[in-house]
Structure 1
Amino acid sequence: MNDQPLKGALLLVLGEGLLAIMAAMIKLLSDHLDTEVIVFARNLFGLLFLLPIIMQRGGFRQLRTANIHLHLIRAFTGVTAMFCFFYTIGHIALAEAVLVKMTVPFFLPVVGWLWLREQIGLRTWVAILVGFVGVAVIMRADSGEIDPVMWVALAGAAIMSIAKVSIRRMAVSEPPQRVVFYFALFATGFSALPLAWTSTVPVGTDYLWLIGIGLVATGGQFAMTTAYQIASPGQVGVYNYSSVIWAALLGWMFWGETLVITTLLGTLLIVAAGVWNLKAPRSG
């Protein structure tokens, strides 16, 4: 039930913090490992960490579902977006990668309209416009020198919105552990395919980092999925933006990254538009 906003907010902040730590680990490995290896390891170890939790919560009997097609859609789009995001992390500042990922809420209404026939109000259109102005500022479109990596990040956000809408379709019948399990299972399979084209192999302590990525990713995913099960997006959605603070802090601590004034301005526009969008009335 949507009646625990404080707990939901805390879980969301925790989940975003864990995913920011995951992003920092990915950035550390990206200088010598291909994205394909990191994505596969994240999903494989995430699945392995998940299995004991599933067994403790009733075993595989709890995993029966009539929505395999939605789980497949969610896994395929989620893995594709993951490839985009992980690649982006290795090539631009951590906070900037997270910021562009935060455009997912601006794609969601469009995907919801196309797929679920949800209406888009004027207030939401304004939020979308302001949000993408913020993205344009971050991408430095006015200088005519847009880093191609930014387009990869934006494509990942658009694809991720499809995965998010598929979760919404399953919200009534699928508990968090079932959603997380099928994503981990199918995502591991999907992400194994590109390994045929990779040329890098983890060595030594790389395996510890990859295991850590799987562990914190699973924890973060559980925390965020549960947060939206016990509180509505309008109550806790704004705490998604804590990811920017986490990422900026980690980027500064480990890589000396700082946000230039244009990035800060774009951040303000994206966050303001996101909060405005959260307060917009929803209609089916």
Structure 2
Amino acid sequence: MNARTTDLRRGALMAVAGAGAFAVVSACVKLAGNELPNAVVVFFRNLFALLVLLPWLARRGPSAVSMRTARPGMHLLRAATGLGAMYCFFYALSQMPLASAVLLNYSQPLFLPFIAWIWLGERPAPRIFPAVIIGFVGVVLILKPGLGWQGPAGLAGLAAGILAATSMAAIRRMSDTEPTVRIVMYFSVLGTLVSAIPAALAWQTPTTTQWLALAGAGSIATAGQLLLPRAYSLAPAAHIGALIYTTVLFAALIGWVVWQETPDLLSALGAAAVICAALIVVVTRRPRRQRS
């Protein structure tokens, strides 16, 4: 097994682990966001993530927390698109069933291969396109039950997917010079500072249960944030982006356990299509990067 194949598989495993983490985060956000203002939920998700991250960085020593970077503009783009996706996604979670909101947010793999192709010069291998189509069909099948037209919530979910895809491409763009820890640190600091302003304007004190849910969302999100940038540094954005589809499987399981959401036949077929798409992406050869 050559080093390139090893990197692709390691990246795939990290992407799936990160997907599971973000499914749990989504459930925590939904628990807290059903009654709290969206701005407050976004702020505390970022704050708790930062509070978990800082002690971990302190144990790694001064070199791990260096904020000196040659890519400040790319960090700002990553923070802006990532935070925008968070606001849109959390709003959708508060208004829609868990699986439906997660699926709309994770429509990002449908956009990411094309963003990566145009922006990063990563031409997808031919088999990527059938995989994207299969994944899209799977998403449609899973979304169908009870979704209908969700108005602002549905549009917010789709906007979250597009913004998240752009954010992931930004991570890939700077992963050759920026370590994972710095990428996560910049996002956590900028996200906390920026989201504090709207949170103060819409302030509502959380209950004990909401505090626990917010703390869980922030701490688990930190694990996901550390896993995904590393995954994107090991494998092409199109590959990792498609693997994020597995988040919907974890979300469906959580929805069944916590909210007794039982998928019908179409949802089960959609889940099978998502798994098929992920497998195609994993075995597809790493594409060549083309720079102008």
Q: TM-score with structure 1 length normalisation?
A: 0.84
CA displacement 1:58-85 (0-9 Å, x = unmatched):
3266321111110110011001111122
Q: 2:222 aligns with which of 204, 218, 224?
A: 218
Q: Residue deviations 1:156-214, cap 9 Å, x none?
A: 11110100110011111111111110010111123223325525331334223222221
Q: Is the 8 A contact 1:104 1:160 kept in 2?
A: yes
- Partner residue in 2 for 1:84: 88
After alignment, is 2-11 or 252-261 more displaced?
2-11
**1:1-284 pair list within 5 angstroms:** 3=6, 10-59=13-62, 62-120=66-124, 122-140=126-144, 145-148=148-151, 149-195=153-199, 197-198=201-202, 200-229=204-233, 240-278=244-282, 279=284, 282-283=287-288, 284=290
Report if aligned partners of 1:176, 1:222 keep a CA contact under 8 Å in 2.
Answer: yes
One-letter code aligned to 1:53: W
Distance in 2 (CA, whole Å) between partners of 1:246 and 1:84 is 20
Q: Which has the higher mean CA deviation after the structures are superposed, 14-23 or 227-236? A: 227-236
Q: What is the identity, as a one-letter code, of the residue corresponding to 2:195? A: S
Task: Give the AA of the match of 1:85.
Answer: F
| Whole-angstrom CA distance in 1 between matches of 2:97 and 2:285 | 31
**Counterpart of 2:188 in 1: which secondary structure?**
helix
Number of matched pairs: 283
Task: Specify the code of the residue in structure 2 equivalent to 1:282.
Answer: P
Q: Please provide the CA RMSD for this pair.
A: 3.1
CA distance in 2, matches of 1:114, 1:140: 31
Q: Is contact 2:110–2:132 with CA below 8 Å preserved after alignment? A: yes
Q: Conserved in 1, the CA contact under 8 Å of 2:52 and 2:219?
A: yes
1:218 Cα shift? 0.7
Q: Which moved more, 1:177-186 or 1:218-227?
A: 218-227
Q: Which runs of 5+ in 1 are unaligned?
A: none
Partner deviation per Cα, 1:244-271 (whole Å, 9 max, x = no partner): 3322221111111112333333333344
Could you tell which deviates more after superposition, 22-31 or 217-226?
217-226
CA distance, structure 2, for counterparts of residue 234 and residue 166 of structure 1: 13
DSSP 3-state at the match of 2:110: helix
Return the TM-score normalized by structure 2.
0.82
- In 1, are the aligned partners of 2:99 and 2:248 still within 8 Å (CA)? yes
Pick which of 145-154 and 177-186 moved more.
145-154
